[in-house]
Structure 1
Amino acid sequence: MGRIIRSASVCALAGVIVSTGMMSACSTQDGAAAPGAKKEKLNIKMMSSLQTEPPDMNSAFWTGLEERTNVHLDIDWVPINDYINKVNLVLASGNIPEVLTVTDTNLSSLIDAINKGSFWDLGELLGDFSKYPNLKNNVPESAWRLLRYNGKTFGLPRTRPQITASEHIRRDWLDKLGLPVPKTMDELLVTLKKVVDSDPDGNGKRDTVGLMFDESYRTAFGGFDPENTPDGGMYPKQLTNAYTSMVEWYRKAYADGLMSQEFAIMKDLQYSDMFGAGLAAFYRKNPWHQYGLEQSAKKVQPDAKTEIIPYLTGPNGTTAVLSPGFFGGLYIPKSVPKDKVEKILQYYNVIASDEITKYITYGKEGVHHTVDNGVIKMTDQGKKEINNTTIEPFVLKLDPWSKTDSPIAPQEVNLKNREKVKPELDVGKIDPFSVINSPSWVTQWPKYEGEFTSMRTQVIIGKITMEQYKSYIDQLKAKKEFAVAYKEFGDNYKALFGK
């Protein structure tokens, strides 16, 4: 079946892009190459997020991808901690690369640019997907449906499985103290306090961090269920009772000494480094990081063990968050001619094939991985050249375990982790605010966002009372300029979720 997809997609691409010839030859059913001279490569200028050290674009992996697609990627890699700021700057300047990776598809600057007509309506070009079978068949239907803005498709979804995150805890520290793995949000605070107070790294200081701020935890307080206004609109997440309950939970965590004093400005990558260095006890991240985090911690404490907790239970839900089928999108500005847009779409149709998705995931056999009794094992070169940065600028064929299986972990570890996270499918929910939007909100909220973030920080660290914070939220809810946004959120929620 993979061979048929390969032949169909590659041939369609070669047929559409006659002038540039994205493929040097069209694969036939028996694997022989069709006659024809090698065509000029298509060059695509992109900007994408960087999760690791900058990749060597002349490495065997990237040159191999170029050979397989006859497309040269000129990528401006931007560190993930600064990525949103760079996207904002690029959108403000109007000097947008031919493909822009956006990690937050509800970013106000992106919505503003779409409203101003800066990006192509890709839905018109994709049509019924007859020219793009892999984008239709290998990308979740929910991704195409939930990425729409005002009923139109402006971005290509960066395909993701339903399970994309879980909780990670230092199991060796729990075992040392005779503590069970926590199952609820309240138990987590009690457990982490005992761990942090015990000086688990043995340096004689109380400097172990328990947890970082993550607003997705509002789902444990009912935050993924809509809270409606009296007239049938929908409050944005920041103004919901569930969000306020989550803030109160973090206030207790901070008072117990479980959070860094710099939590409000701490970036995810910083916390990841802390966990790997044995300076943090608990971390919410993709399940496939479990093995890597454990190996990093072992360099500091040889007995380190990282345990996956699929989810924690809160008063009105769990921490299990399901992906809508994508995380972020790829956007093509109107400055790109229509004929090149179509070539770019054909390129992504090939990327979403079984063959190329496997290559991007595992590289070349014998170079980046070996196969032993059907089990893929990454080589040292593969581990170096293929990582979580590698998939950032692509639309891949859906793999339900792509955020659970680690390319550097033994197969038995990956299979065990799959079983660990499966329960998320039964209780998890999609964050509606990862997909719904309001044109009015993105113009009004920036006026108050800085003040809101400051008030949230102040109440968590105890500078103001919960009563003062709640009074502030009530004042925000009553602002007349938000009324239109409430209606737009409500209408958009009903349009996307059908209820």
Structure 2
Amino acid sequence: MNTTPRRLLAGTVALATALLASACGSDDGGGGQSAGNELTMMVPLFGTAPDPGGEVHKAVEKVVGKKLKITWVPNAEYQDKTNVTLASDTIPQVMVIQGKIPSFVQAAQAGAFWELTDKLDKYPNLKAKSEQAERNASINGKVYGIYRVRPLLRSAVLYRKDWLDKLDLKVPETVDELYEVAKAFTEKDPDGNGKKDTYGLIIPKWPTPVFCSSSPYNVVETWFGAPNCYGDRGGKLVPTFDTEEFYTANRWLKKMVGEGLVNPDFATLDSGKWNDPFVQGKGGIIIDVNVRATQMYGLLKEQDPEKYGDKLAMGGNLKRSDGQKFSYPFDGYNGFLAVSKQSVRTEAELDEVLKALDRLATEEGQTLLANGIEGRNFKLENGFDVPIGDDDPAVKTINNDVDFAFIQLGTWATIGMGVYDAMPASEAEQENLKLRKELVELDLQTAVNNPTLPIVSPTYVSKGATLDPIVSDARVKYLAGEITEEQLRAEVERWHESGGDQVIAEINDLHAKLGGS
């Protein structure tokens, strides 16, 4: 079961038919280009499209050993463009696929993309760096793309350090300690202004209705021992909301909401404004990812250039009351580079394309994609990336091309995971970077992996957009006091009756076929 945010397509039968036709079309079709000396790609874009004659584009071509013809698509339009492209007869040789969206799953299973399950080991830089991540990225155990690596574990908790210091509190290690800190942040005037105008935990409205979506809710539920999306209970995989630990966790959160320890607008706060209460001194705790600390330091520095390093503390995943620890991991990947069978028709052409991607996955190639051009937009200092030439318009163009475009082709280096880390601007940030790595290694030991990540349930593909909001919306209403726990449980039952039982059956069947691991 794939839990990546997605928009389901209408007319899936017609699309699958079109995919089969395009995958098996004649050699003289509009999308059939020889591997040759040109590599065609479709890649998401977050800024201004790079100039094909620009420094970065030319440098990437030199590494790859081919001319690059890249269709850059604004990220907001990327999924729609992906769906249209997959149903057309002009699929580029390599596409960035942002997740197991239904159109790609159908395309891959219809034979429109090369299965790479047993092919990548011969390419040293494309070989999976993590068996767990590769398994997570697979579709029912089959690999249809070179996954773009992300940290397997990056969940963490950010705190207002100045508030902790003022109230003589330490970074929590248990859920009970987190509750006490949230209560103190709400009731003990941590900003010293003499008013009761602060609260502890900041939660935004989660931007997608997908139930297993790495939200603060999912992290907290895992801390209490609930499965990460699905888990084994009595030899059968069941969804997290079919366990009592799920309800225990949400009773805890509901208590915090009821006592005013959570931002009152948690059901509506725009996730794009999640930082604001923390930076503005209204709320003091954020449960999210560790790399958020880098962003937060930047915002705090704008507000207080002198003392910003004293305002942020970070901790890892928390133990529950009995001392047991269950840490929340992530997928370990963010989409993949898939190779089209329509435009790469033979094993020999596939080998040529994979060799080009293997060159791009070298340290030289990944440095170019994630850091830029050494000596032009950055220099190395004690092993760190130090920006240079910021006032040079040409360097600004290089930074734009790397940060907002070519970074999307990074398979093992990306923003926050470059070949070289950015030089921390202060001692506090350097210590945070060190702490981040220590917490990751510690929490990986207690990570609760989602066993359904490799599994794609047909019923979930067709009904997921209807099923997911049933429980996720009910959970928010329960936390807000709008419905009772009995009514929440009734919504869970409605999920089962609306197709959830079939999803569970398919997941367990597919899981067994994959060996049950």
Report if aligned partners of 1:237, 1:433 keep a CA contact under 8 Å in 2: no
Q: Structure 1 residue 150: deviation in Å?
A: 2.7
AA paired with 2:317? Y
Report if aligned partners of 1:278, 1:301 keep a CA contact under 8 Å in 2: no
Quote the Cα distance in structure 1 between the aligned partners of 2:56 and 2:406: 10
AA paired with 1:362? N
Q: Structure 1 residue 462: deviation in Å?
A: 0.4
Partner of 2:79: 87
- The 5 Å alignment of 1:13-412 reads 20-21=36-37, 41-47=38-44, 50=46, 54-55=47-48, 57-58=50-51, 60-69=55-64, 70=66, 71-79=68-76, 87=79, 90-91=82-83, 94=86, 98=92, 99-105=94-100, 107=101, 110-111=104-105, 114-115=108-109, 117=110, 119-123=112-116, 127=119, 129-130=121-122, 132-136=123-127, 139-197=129-187, 198=189, 200=191, 206=197, 210-212=201-203, 213-214=215-216, 215-224=218-227, 227=231, 232-264=235-267, 266=269, 268-272=271-275, 275=278, 280-302=283-305, 303-304=307-308, 305-315=311-321, 318=325, 320-323=327-330, 325-332=332-339, 336-338=343-345, 344-379=353-388, 381=390, 384-385=399-400, 386-387=402-403, 391-396=407-412, 402=417, 406-409=421-424, 412=430
Q: Structure 1 residue 469: deviation in Å?
A: 1.1
Q: Structure 1 residue 135: deviation in Å?
A: 0.7
SS of structure 1 residue aligned to 2:274: helix
Give per-residue Cα distances to partners, 1:101-143, cap 9 Å, x unaligned.
Answer: 44443x456545555x27414327x63643x33212x632333
Question: Structure 1 residues 55 and 164 mapped into 2: Cα distance closer, same or farther (>3 Å)?
Answer: farther
Report if aligned partners of 2:478, 2:484 keep a CA contact under 8 Å in 1: yes
- Structure 2: which 5+ runs fail to align? 1-32, 204-214
Report if aligned partners of 2:42, 2:72 keep a CA contact under 8 Å in 1: yes
AA paired with 1:391? I
Q: Structure 1 residue 496: deviation in Å?
A: 5.2
SS of structure 1 residue aligned to 2:299: helix
- Which TM-score applies when normalising by structure 1? 0.75
Question: Structure 1 residues 337 and 291 mapped into 2: Cα distance closer, same or farther (>3 Å)?
Answer: closer
SS of structure 2 residue aligned to 1:338: coil
SS of structure 2 residue aligned to 1:427: coil
Report if aligned partners of 1:216, 1:319 keep a CA contact under 8 Å in 2: no
- Structure 1: which 5+ runs fail to align? 1-16, 22-40
Give per-residue Cα distances to partners, 1:267-314, cap 9 Å, x unaligned.
Answer: 544324654565542234443342331231132245332222122112
SS of structure 1 residue aligned to 2:445: helix
Report if aligned partners of 1:164, 1:404 keep a CA contact under 8 Å in 2: no
Partner of 2:22: none
AA paired with 1:68? V
Quote the Cα distance in structure 2 between the aligned partners of 1:298 and 1:203: 25
Partner of 1:32: none
Q: Please identify, of 206-215 and 351-360, the stretch whose mean Cα deviation from structure 2 is larger.
A: 206-215
Question: Structure 1 residues 390 and 294 mapped into 2: Cα distance closer, same or farther (>3 Å)?
Answer: farther
Quote the Cα distance in structure 2 between the aligned partners of 1:19 and 1:92: 23
Report if aligned partners of 1:139, 1:397 keep a CA contact under 8 Å in 2: no
Quote the Cα distance in structure 2 between the aligned partners of 1:205 and 1:95: 57
Q: Structure 1 residue 332: deviation in Å?
A: 4.8
SS of structure 1 residue aligned to 2:364: helix
Q: Please identify, of 220-229 and 357-366, the stretch whose mean Cα deviation from structure 2 is larger.
A: 220-229
AA paired with 1:328? G
Question: Structure 1 residues 405 and 492 mapped into 2: Cα distance closer, same or farther (>3 Å)?
Answer: farther
Quote the Cα distance in structure 1 between the aligned partners of 2:150 and 2:165: 34
Report if aligned partners of 2:159, 2:285 keep a CA contact under 8 Å in 1: yes
Quote the Cα distance in structure 2 between the aligned partners of 1:244 and 1:221: 9
- Which TM-score applies when normalising by structure 2? 0.72
AA paired with 2:449? I
AA paired with 1:288? V
Quote the Cα distance in structure 1 between the aligned partners of 2:297 and 2:337: 32
Give per-residue Cα distances to partners, 1:318-351, cap 9 Å, x unaligned.
Answer: 4633345423333455654436766553432222
Q: Structure 1 residue 498: deviation in Å?
A: 4.3
SS of structure 1 residue aligned to 2:169: coil
Quote the Cα distance in structure 1 between the aligned partners of 2:283 and 2:407: 27
Question: Structure 1 residues 42 and 330 mapped into 2: Cα distance closer, same or farther (>3 Å)?
Answer: closer
Report if aligned partners of 2:158, 2:285 keep a CA contact under 8 Å in 1: yes
Quote the Cα distance in structure 2 between the aligned partners of 1:344 and 1:89: 23
Quote the Cα distance in structure 2 between the aligned partners of 1:475 and 1:181: 40
Q: Please identify, of 67-76 and 205-214, the stretch whose mean Cα deviation from structure 2 is larger.
A: 205-214
Quote the Cα distance in structure 1 between the aligned partners of 2:288 and 2:475: 23
1:428 pairs with 2:409: no
Q: Structure 1 residue 205: deviation in Å?
A: 7.6
Quote the Cα distance in structure 1 between the aligned partners of 2:321 and 2:382: 46
Q: Please identify, of 340-349 and 250-259, the stretch whose mean Cα deviation from structure 2 is larger.
A: 340-349
Give per-residue Cα distances to partners, 1:62-107, cap 9 Å, x unaligned.
Answer: 553344334243321315xxx7xx52674378557645544443x4
Quote the Cα distance in structure 2 between the aligned partners of 1:299 and 1:320: 33
Quote the Cα distance in structure 2 between the aligned partners of 1:139 and 1:218: 29
Report if aligned partners of 1:88, 1:109 keep a CA contact under 8 Å in 2: no
Report if aligned partners of 1:174, 1:181 keep a CA contact under 8 Å in 2: yes
Identity in percent = 19
SS of structure 2 residue aligned to 1:151: coil
1:455 pairs with 2:474: yes
Give per-residue Cα distances to partners, 1:190-221, cap 9 Å, x unaligned.
Answer: 21232244363959683667222522332112
Quote the Cα distance in structure 2 between the aligned partners of 1:210 and 1:380: 40
Q: Structure 1 residue 424: deviation in Å?
A: 1.5
Quote the Cα distance in structure 2 between the aligned partners of 1:128 and 1:93: 25
Quote the Cα distance in structure 1 between the aligned partners of 2:251 and 2:436: 32
Partner of 1:12: none
Question: Structure 1 residues 196 and 109 mapped into 2: Cα distance closer, same or farther (>3 Å)?
Answer: farther
Quote the Cα distance in structure 2 between the aligned partners of 1:241 and 1:43: 50
Quote the Cα distance in structure 1 between the aligned partners of 2:178 and 2:423: 29
Quote the Cα distance in structure 2 between the aligned partners of 1:45 and 1:135: 19
Question: Structure 1 residues 456 and 100 mapped into 2: Cα distance closer, same or farther (>3 Å)?
Answer: farther
Report if aligned partners of 1:155, 1:332 keep a CA contact under 8 Å in 2: yes
SS of structure 1 residue aligned to 2:466: helix
Report if aligned partners of 2:169, 2:181 keep a CA contact under 8 Å in 1: yes
Quote the Cα distance in structure 1 between the aligned partners of 2:98 and 2:191: 35
How many residue pairs match? The answer is 447
AA paired with 1:186? D
Question: Structure 1 residues 474 and 45 mapped into 2: Cα distance closer, same or farther (>3 Å)?
Answer: closer
- Which 4+ runs in 1 deviate beyond 6 A? none
Quote the Cα distance in structure 1 between the aligned partners of 2:494 and 2:378: 58
